[in-house]
Amino acid sequence: MQTLQTTPHLPPAVAAETSAQDDAPQRHRSWVPVRSLTSRHRDRLREHLLALEESDRYLRFGYAASDAQIQHYADTLDFERDEVFGIFNRRVELIAMAHLAYAPAPQIEGQPPMAEFGVSVNRAARGRGLGARLFDHAILHARNRRIRKIFVYALSENTAMLKIARNAGAAIERAGSESEAWLTLPPNDLASQVGEIVETQAAEWDYHMKSNAKRLHDILGSCLLDRSNA
Ligand SMILES: CC(C)(COP(=O)(O)OP(=O)(O)OC[C@H]1O[C@@H](n2cnc3c(N)ncnc32)[C@H](O)[C@@H]1OP(=O)(O)O)[C@@H](O)C(=O)NCCC(=O)NCCS
Protein backbone atom coordinates (compact mmCIF):
# COMPACT_ATOMS: atom_id res chain seq x y z
CA MET A 1 0.00 0.00 0.00
CA GLN A 2 1.12 3.49 -0.70
CA THR A 3 3.16 5.11 2.01
CA LEU A 4 3.92 8.65 3.05
CA GLN A 5 7.56 8.27 2.10
CA THR A 6 8.99 10.15 -0.81
CA THR A 7 10.50 6.95 -2.14
CA PRO A 8 7.81 4.87 -3.77
CA HIS A 9 7.43 1.34 -2.54
CA LEU A 10 8.19 -0.98 -5.42
CA PRO A 11 6.75 -4.46 -5.17
CA PRO A 12 9.11 -7.38 -5.75
CA ALA A 13 7.60 -8.41 -9.03
CA VAL A 14 5.85 -6.55 -11.75
CA ALA A 15 2.26 -7.45 -12.38
CA ALA A 16 0.93 -8.91 -15.58
CA GLU A 17 1.40 -6.95 -18.77
CA THR A 18 -1.10 -4.18 -19.21
CA SER A 19 -2.93 -3.11 -22.28
CA ALA A 20 -1.24 -0.26 -24.11
CA GLN A 21 -2.45 3.24 -23.36
CA ASP A 22 -2.86 3.87 -27.07
CA ASP A 23 -5.59 1.24 -27.08
CA ALA A 24 -7.55 2.92 -24.30
CA PRO A 25 -10.83 4.52 -25.31
CA GLN A 26 -10.42 8.24 -25.92
CA ARG A 27 -12.57 10.38 -23.62
CA HIS A 28 -13.49 13.93 -24.44
CA ARG A 29 -13.01 16.32 -21.55
CA SER A 30 -12.58 20.06 -21.61
CA TRP A 31 -8.94 21.04 -21.33
CA VAL A 32 -7.82 22.00 -17.82
CA PRO A 33 -4.38 23.54 -17.28
CA VAL A 34 -2.06 21.48 -15.11
CA ARG A 35 0.97 23.21 -13.66
CA SER A 36 4.22 21.66 -12.48
CA LEU A 37 4.78 22.57 -8.84
CA THR A 38 8.04 23.39 -7.15
CA SER A 39 9.23 23.78 -3.58
CA ARG A 40 7.70 27.28 -3.68
CA HIS A 41 4.32 25.56 -3.53
CA ARG A 42 5.08 23.42 -0.50
CA ASP A 43 2.82 25.44 1.81
CA ARG A 44 -0.10 25.21 -0.55
CA LEU A 45 0.42 21.48 -1.03
CA ARG A 46 0.47 20.99 2.71
CA GLU A 47 -2.68 23.04 3.08
CA HIS A 48 -4.45 21.05 0.36
CA LEU A 49 -3.49 17.70 1.91
CA LEU A 50 -4.30 18.75 5.47
CA ALA A 51 -7.77 19.74 4.30
CA LEU A 52 -8.48 16.14 3.21
CA GLU A 53 -10.96 14.42 5.47
CA GLU A 54 -9.95 11.29 7.34
CA SER A 55 -11.64 8.96 4.84
CA ASP A 56 -9.87 10.71 1.96
CA ARG A 57 -6.51 10.50 3.70
CA TYR A 58 -7.14 6.79 4.06
CA LEU A 59 -7.86 6.46 0.35
CA ARG A 60 -4.91 8.65 -0.65
CA PHE A 61 -2.23 7.12 1.54
CA GLY A 62 -3.60 3.72 2.45
CA TYR A 63 -4.20 4.70 6.07
CA ALA A 64 -5.72 7.62 7.92
CA ALA A 65 -2.60 9.77 7.92
CA SER A 66 -2.28 12.14 10.85
CA ASP A 67 -1.54 15.84 10.42
CA ALA A 68 2.05 15.18 11.47
CA GLN A 69 2.47 12.44 8.84
CA ILE A 70 1.04 14.67 6.14
CA GLN A 71 3.29 17.48 7.30
CA HIS A 72 6.27 15.16 6.98
CA TYR A 73 5.18 14.01 3.53
CA ALA A 74 4.82 17.62 2.33
CA ASP A 75 8.11 18.68 3.90
CA THR A 76 10.06 15.83 2.30
CA LEU A 77 8.59 15.91 -1.21
CA ASP A 78 11.55 15.80 -3.55
CA PHE A 79 10.77 18.22 -6.38
CA GLU A 80 14.11 17.55 -8.04
CA ARG A 81 13.58 13.83 -8.46
CA ASP A 82 9.79 13.58 -8.72
CA GLU A 83 7.09 15.44 -10.57
CA VAL A 84 4.38 17.20 -8.64
CA PHE A 85 1.47 18.70 -10.55
CA GLY A 86 -1.35 20.96 -9.52
CA ILE A 87 -4.60 22.42 -10.74
CA PHE A 88 -5.54 25.92 -9.58
CA ASN A 89 -8.97 27.51 -9.56
CA ARG A 90 -9.75 31.08 -10.58
CA ARG A 91 -8.76 32.35 -7.15
CA VAL A 92 -5.39 30.63 -7.63
CA GLU A 93 -6.18 28.10 -4.90
CA LEU A 94 -4.71 24.63 -5.33
CA ILE A 95 -7.71 22.35 -5.76
CA ALA A 96 -6.00 19.16 -6.96
CA MET A 97 -2.51 17.70 -6.93
CA ALA A 98 -0.70 14.64 -8.16
CA HIS A 99 2.65 13.16 -7.25
CA LEU A 100 4.54 11.09 -9.79
CA ALA A 101 7.32 9.45 -7.81
CA TYR A 102 10.24 8.06 -9.76
CA ALA A 103 11.91 5.08 -8.21
CA PRO A 104 15.54 5.69 -7.33
CA ALA A 105 18.03 3.49 -9.19
CA PRO A 106 18.51 0.59 -9.17
CA GLN A 107 14.96 -0.41 -9.98
CA ILE A 108 13.69 -3.94 -10.32
CA GLU A 109 16.22 -5.95 -12.29
CA GLY A 110 15.07 -6.73 -15.80
CA GLN A 111 12.12 -4.36 -15.56
CA PRO A 112 11.68 -1.04 -17.35
CA PRO A 113 11.83 2.23 -15.34
CA MET A 114 8.67 2.83 -13.34
CA ALA A 115 6.90 5.60 -11.49
CA GLU A 116 4.18 5.62 -8.85
CA PHE A 117 1.16 7.91 -9.16
CA GLY A 118 -0.78 9.42 -6.22
CA VAL A 119 -3.52 12.03 -6.47
CA SER A 120 -6.04 14.03 -4.49
CA VAL A 121 -8.80 16.42 -5.51
CA ASN A 122 -10.69 18.77 -3.18
CA ARG A 123 -14.13 17.41 -2.40
CA ALA A 124 -15.86 20.40 -3.94
CA ALA A 125 -14.03 19.87 -7.24
CA ARG A 126 -14.63 16.14 -7.69
CA GLY A 127 -16.48 14.46 -10.50
CA ARG A 128 -15.33 17.05 -13.04
CA GLY A 129 -12.55 14.99 -14.58
CA LEU A 130 -9.67 16.59 -12.66
CA GLY A 131 -8.38 13.29 -11.28
CA ALA A 132 -8.39 11.77 -14.76
CA ARG A 133 -6.81 14.91 -16.19
CA LEU A 134 -3.92 14.67 -13.73
CA PHE A 135 -3.42 11.02 -14.60
CA ASP A 136 -3.29 11.81 -18.33
CA HIS A 137 -0.83 14.61 -17.64
CA ALA A 138 1.36 12.31 -15.54
CA ILE A 139 1.37 9.76 -18.36
CA LEU A 140 2.61 12.38 -20.82
CA HIS A 141 5.41 13.47 -18.48
CA ALA A 142 6.41 9.93 -17.66
CA ARG A 143 6.60 8.94 -21.33
CA ASN A 144 8.88 11.87 -22.06
CA ARG A 145 11.18 10.77 -19.23
CA ARG A 146 11.40 7.26 -20.71
CA ILE A 147 9.32 5.73 -17.96
CA ARG A 148 7.67 2.59 -19.29
CA LYS A 149 5.29 1.72 -16.46
CA ILE A 150 3.10 3.67 -14.08
CA PHE A 151 1.57 1.99 -11.09
CA VAL A 152 -1.04 3.11 -8.59
CA TYR A 153 -1.83 1.59 -5.23
CA ALA A 154 -5.47 1.97 -4.36
CA LEU A 155 -7.87 0.46 -1.92
CA SER A 156 -10.22 -1.87 -3.77
CA GLU A 157 -13.12 0.28 -2.57
CA ASN A 158 -11.66 3.29 -4.39
CA THR A 159 -13.94 3.08 -7.42
CA ALA A 160 -13.03 6.52 -8.77
CA MET A 161 -9.26 5.92 -8.75
CA LEU A 162 -9.56 2.46 -10.23
CA LYS A 163 -11.88 3.80 -12.90
CA ILE A 164 -9.36 6.48 -13.83
CA ALA A 165 -6.64 3.87 -14.17
CA ARG A 166 -8.83 1.39 -16.02
CA ASN A 167 -10.08 4.07 -18.43
CA ALA A 168 -6.44 4.81 -19.28
CA GLY A 169 -5.89 1.15 -20.13
CA ALA A 170 -4.31 -0.10 -16.90
CA ALA A 171 -4.61 -3.68 -15.73
CA ILE A 172 -5.99 -3.94 -12.21
CA GLU A 173 -4.70 -6.59 -9.84
CA ARG A 174 -6.90 -6.99 -6.81
CA ALA A 175 -5.64 -8.58 -3.59
CA GLY A 176 -8.48 -8.34 -1.08
CA SER A 177 -8.93 -4.80 0.18
CA GLU A 178 -5.96 -3.51 -1.83
CA SER A 179 -5.47 -3.16 -5.56
CA GLU A 180 -2.64 -2.27 -7.87
CA ALA A 181 -3.13 -0.67 -11.25
CA TRP A 182 -0.37 -1.17 -13.80
CA LEU A 183 -0.12 0.78 -16.99
CA THR A 184 2.47 0.17 -19.68
CA LEU A 185 3.29 3.37 -21.52
CA PRO A 186 4.10 3.71 -25.18
CA PRO A 187 7.54 5.20 -25.90
CA ASN A 188 7.81 8.94 -26.24
CA ASP A 189 7.51 10.45 -29.70
CA LEU A 190 7.39 13.86 -31.32
CA ALA A 191 3.71 14.29 -30.44
CA SER A 192 4.29 13.56 -26.74
CA GLN A 193 7.23 15.96 -26.62
CA VAL A 194 5.43 18.77 -28.41
CA GLY A 195 2.34 18.02 -26.34
CA GLU A 196 4.24 18.53 -23.11
CA ILE A 197 5.78 21.81 -24.30
CA VAL A 198 2.41 23.17 -25.39
CA GLU A 199 0.73 22.06 -22.14
CA THR A 200 3.47 23.61 -20.02
CA GLN A 201 3.32 26.96 -21.83
CA ALA A 202 -0.46 27.08 -21.76
CA ALA A 203 -0.58 26.23 -18.04
CA GLU A 204 2.02 28.92 -17.26
CA TRP A 205 0.05 31.49 -19.24
CA ASP A 206 -3.19 30.47 -17.51
CA TYR A 207 -1.58 30.70 -14.07
CA HIS A 208 -0.22 34.19 -14.70
CA MET A 209 -3.55 35.39 -16.06
CA LYS A 210 -5.31 34.09 -12.97
CA SER A 211 -2.69 35.58 -10.65
CA ASN A 212 -2.94 38.99 -12.34
CA ALA A 213 -6.73 38.89 -12.28
CA LYS A 214 -6.67 38.04 -8.59
CA ARG A 215 -4.21 40.86 -7.85
CA LEU A 216 -6.41 43.32 -9.71
CA HIS A 217 -9.48 42.04 -7.91
CA ASP A 218 -7.75 42.41 -4.53
CA ILE A 219 -6.58 45.95 -5.34
CA LEU A 220 -10.04 47.01 -6.52
CA GLY A 221 -11.56 45.38 -3.45
CA SER A 222 -9.30 47.30 -1.06
CA CYS A 223 -9.89 50.59 -2.99
CA LEU A 224 -13.65 50.16 -2.67
CA LEU A 225 -13.25 49.36 1.03
CA ASP A 226 -11.17 52.50 1.54
CA ARG A 227 -13.79 54.62 -0.23
CA SER A 228 -16.63 53.18 1.78
CA ASN A 229 -14.67 53.80 5.00
CA ALA A 230 -13.84 57.39 3.95
C1 LIG B 1 -9.88 9.55 -6.61
C2 LIG B 1 -10.04 11.03 -6.91
C3 LIG B 1 -8.67 11.65 -7.17
C4 LIG B 1 -10.91 11.16 -8.19
O5 LIG B 1 -10.91 12.51 -8.58
P6 LIG B 1 -12.09 13.12 -9.47
O7 LIG B 1 -11.59 14.41 -10.01
O8 LIG B 1 -13.34 13.17 -8.70
O9 LIG B 1 -12.22 12.02 -10.61
P10 LIG B 1 -12.79 12.25 -12.08
O11 LIG B 1 -13.84 13.33 -12.05
O12 LIG B 1 -11.64 12.44 -13.01
O13 LIG B 1 -13.51 10.86 -12.36
C14 LIG B 1 -12.80 9.78 -12.87
C15 LIG B 1 -13.74 8.62 -13.12
O16 LIG B 1 -14.22 8.10 -11.90
C17 LIG B 1 -15.63 8.18 -11.85
N18 LIG B 1 -15.97 8.56 -10.49
C19 LIG B 1 -15.68 9.73 -9.87
N20 LIG B 1 -16.12 9.68 -8.61
C21 LIG B 1 -16.68 8.47 -8.44
C22 LIG B 1 -17.30 7.82 -7.33
N23 LIG B 1 -17.41 8.43 -6.15
N24 LIG B 1 -17.76 6.56 -7.51
C25 LIG B 1 -17.64 5.95 -8.70
N26 LIG B 1 -17.05 6.51 -9.79
C27 LIG B 1 -16.58 7.75 -9.64
C28 LIG B 1 -16.02 9.23 -12.87
O29 LIG B 1 -17.33 9.02 -13.36
C30 LIG B 1 -14.97 9.02 -13.92
O31 LIG B 1 -15.26 7.92 -14.73
P32 LIG B 1 -15.74 8.12 -16.26
O33 LIG B 1 -14.70 9.01 -16.92
O34 LIG B 1 -15.75 6.73 -16.80
O35 LIG B 1 -17.07 8.78 -16.20
C36 LIG B 1 -10.78 11.79 -5.76
O37 LIG B 1 -11.97 11.12 -5.49
C38 LIG B 1 -9.93 11.91 -4.50
O39 LIG B 1 -9.17 12.88 -4.32
N40 LIG B 1 -10.07 10.94 -3.56
C41 LIG B 1 -9.28 10.94 -2.30
C42 LIG B 1 -7.82 10.57 -2.55
C43 LIG B 1 -7.69 9.30 -3.37
O44 LIG B 1 -8.49 8.39 -3.29
N45 LIG B 1 -6.64 9.24 -4.20
C46 LIG B 1 -6.39 8.07 -5.05
C47 LIG B 1 -5.42 7.12 -4.46
S48 LIG B 1 -3.75 7.67 -4.72
11 within a domain of the structure (yes/no): no
* Nearest alpha-carbon partner for 150 in 20, 23, 3, 38: 20
Asked if residue 21 has its Cβ within 6 Å of ligand 1, the reply is no
Residue 59, in any domain of the structure: yes
pLDDT bin (cut points 50, 70, 90) of residue 13 is: very low
Q: Is residue 131 part of a domain?
A: yes
209 domain-assigned: yes
pLDDT tens digit sequence for 109-139:
667 789 999 999 999 999 999 999 999 999 9
| More reliable by pLDDT, 11 or 138 | 138
Evaluate whether residue 12 is within a structural domain.
no
Domain around 92: 21-229
CATH code where residue 101 lies = 3.40.630.30
Report the domain count for the chain: 1
DSSP structural state of residue 188:
P
**Is there an atom of ligand 1 within 6 Å of 121 CB?**
yes
Cα–Cα distance between 146 and 186 in angstroms, integer? 9
Average pLDDT over residues 211-228: 82
pLDDT of residue 219: 84
Q: 138 in a domain, yes or no?
A: yes
- Per-residue model confidence as pLDDT tens digits over 141-197: 999 999 999 999 999 999 999 999 999 999 999 999 999 999 999 999 999 999 999
For the entire predicted model, the pTM comes to 0.87
Better-scored residue on pLDDT, 47 or 110 = 47
Specify if 7 maps to a domain: no
Ligand 1 and 128: CB distance under 6 A: yes
